[in-house]
Structure formats: C-alpha cells, structure tokens
Amino acid sequence: MEIKFLKLIKTIAEEGSIAGSSEKLFLTQSALSHQLKDLEIQLGFKVFYRARNKWELTEEGSVLYKTACTVIDSIGNGLNEIQQIRAGAAGTIKISTECYSFYQGLPLFIQKMKVLYPEIEVNLVLEATHKPVEKIISNEIDIAVVTSKPAGNNELICIEIFEDEVFAVIHKENLLNDTEYLSAEDFREAHLIIHSFPLETVSVYDRFLNPSGMMPVKISAVPLTEVTLEMVQANMGITCMPKWALHSFRLSDELKFKKIGSKGLKRKHYLVVRKSDAGKKYINDFLLNFKEYFQNFG
C-alpha cells in the first residue's frame, strides 16, 4: 500500500470529515472521496462509515489506522534521525602529505569528493608537507598522509592505506640499466633528482641510502615531475618514485624502472587523524572514501 493512502486514512480519521481532510491533504473533496473509494475497492472492505457530520472507522479501518500511525511515525522518526546525521556531515578538512607522490592523485580524489559530498570542503596545505604530523597536533591541519606510524602519541589514530614500491627511473642507455637491481653503491656516482629537500623526507635516502652511509655525488631538487622526467630522458640523472605516481604521464620507452635493493624499496602509507575528530561524520566519510580510492594504488 502506498504511503499516500496511509496518510489519507490517518487524516480522515483524525479530522472526522472529508472537508477538513481535503484542506490538510491539498486535495479537493471530490478527489479525496474518489481516492478513498478506489482504496476500499482494492482492500475489499469499507474503511469508514459515512455520516453527514462524522466519519467513523470500521473495525478493519481501526486496525488500518493504527498501522498508518505506526508507519508514518516511524518514517518521521527516521527522517529526523537522518537530518541529525546530515547535520554532522558538513565540514572543512585540511590535508597534507609528506610524500609528494600523493599530489599526483589527490586533486582527482578531491574532485570526486566534491561531487559525492558537496558539503565537505577539502583544502590541500602544501606548507605542512615536511612536518604533517606536527601540524595535526597543533591543529593546523586535520589529516596527514605519512609513510611511518607516529609513535608515542595516544591522541592520534593511524590508518593503513596500502603498501607500494619505489623504483629508480633511469634512461635505457644509463650504465645502471645493465644491473638487475640498484645497490646503495650504485648511487655513489649518480646524479639523484629529488622533488625537494630536506633529504630526510626522501624515501630512497631515508630508507635506503642513509642506513648504508651512502651519499650520491650530486643531488638536485626539481619540484616539477614533468621536468624531472625530461631530465632523466635526457640521461642527465636518475629519480626514484612509485609507478602509480606516474600513471598520468606519457612515459617514453627510453625510461626504465629498476628495483632498488635486492628486495625492493617498499613502504606503507598511513592516514593520521586526531582521535577527537575520528567520530565526526564528515571526517569519517572522507577517511573511508580515501582508503577506498587509494588502496589499489600499490
């Protein structure tokens, strides 16, 4: 049975007449009478006894009236609950990442969020890139993407997203292309092109070269990936990044990916958020969508 018929029965029963009910239901008395007649034909029983001044429910109609009250009240309570939920669905999120690779995928994700959740505003905070966890603690940003779990802070929540692998990108004529994988020693005479300093934020240095006590003979910071790839294609140096970060670029066949170390340079990515914010609906909506969007990037 359609909801409109339940509302019709409830209104007539409470108003006691067609005249008062038609005003509340925004129908003419003729249209209301016609709908009620059609309903009774469908049901196979009378819902009301008609009287000049008062319409009274039949025994079957009384049961139907109670059902209508229960259903309509339940729908009203559900809508009120949804409104309360939606009231917490709006907010502004400031996000940063310590890994510049994510800046290749974040704009598309933010665009998707804007379509699905127009009440959530997402702002990228580039200034917090080198110390995103500290910026969360100081409330300057809300969410950080990091490659190491922050230790010793019970006020933060860390959510694993995925694991990826960083490769060395070299020109096919580079002498290092003859090796199965690059060792730390292979970087000694290399011109390493990174996105930016400090070196502690560069995965290949922090996780591979520094523990081996190795420092390339030359390191250049080039913040534009397009320029970095052009330099590598001209055999002017090598760079290191995950393959997924280059999906949006048209790569030359002259560029080759080499594994870093015999086991590969793998790292995990985490979302970090204040524990006090994790229960907010708009934050939780963002976290769930972020994880779903990026979990297959590894």
Token pair recorded at residue 17: 């007449």
- What is the rounded CA–CA span in Å between residue 74 and residue 244? 48
pLDDT in tens, 227-261: 999 999 999 999 999 999 998 899 999 999 999 99
**pLDDT score of 290:** 94
Let me know if 150 is exposed, middle or buried by CB neighbors in 10 A (0-12, 13-18, 19+): middle
**pLDDT score of 87:** 66
Token pair recorded at residue 279: 């229960």
Among the four given CATH numbers 3.30.450.20, 3.40.190.10, 3.40.630.30, 3.40.50.2000, the one describing domain 91-161+269-294: 3.40.190.10
Residue 218 pairs with which residues in a beta bridge?
191
Q: Is 3-87 a domain of CATH 1.10.3720.10? A: no
- The answer, yes or no, to whether residue 51 has pLDDT greater than 80, is no
Question: Which of 295, 242, 287, 282 has its CA nearest to residue 264?
Answer: 242
pLDDT in tens, 66-92: 999 999 999 988 887 777 666 678 889
Three-state secondary structure string covering 146-209: ECCCCCCCCCEEEEEEEEEEEEEEEECCCHHHHCCEECHHHHCCCEEEECCCCHHHCHHHHHHH
- What is the rounded CA–CA span in Å between residue 142 and residue 95? 6
- The answer, yes or no, to whether residue 7 has pLDDT greater than 90, is yes
3-state secondary structure of 120: strand
| pLDDT, average across residues 14-41 | 90
CATH 1.10.10.10, the chain: domain bounds: 3-87
Residue scoring higher pLDDT (104 or 22): 22
Pairing of β 143-146 and β 255-260? unpaired
CATH 3.40.190.10, the chain: domain bounds: 91-161+269-294, 164-266
CATH superfamily of 164-266: Periplasmic binding protein-like II (3.40.190.10)
235: left (phi over 0), alpha (psi -120 to 50) or beta: left
**pLDDT score of 89:** 86
Percent of the chain with pLDDT over 70: 98
Let me know if 250 is exposed, middle or buried by CB neighbors in 10 A (0-12, 13-18, 19+): exposed
Query: pTM, whole model, 2 decimals?
Result: 0.71
- What is the rounded CA–CA span in Å between residue 150 and residue 131? 11
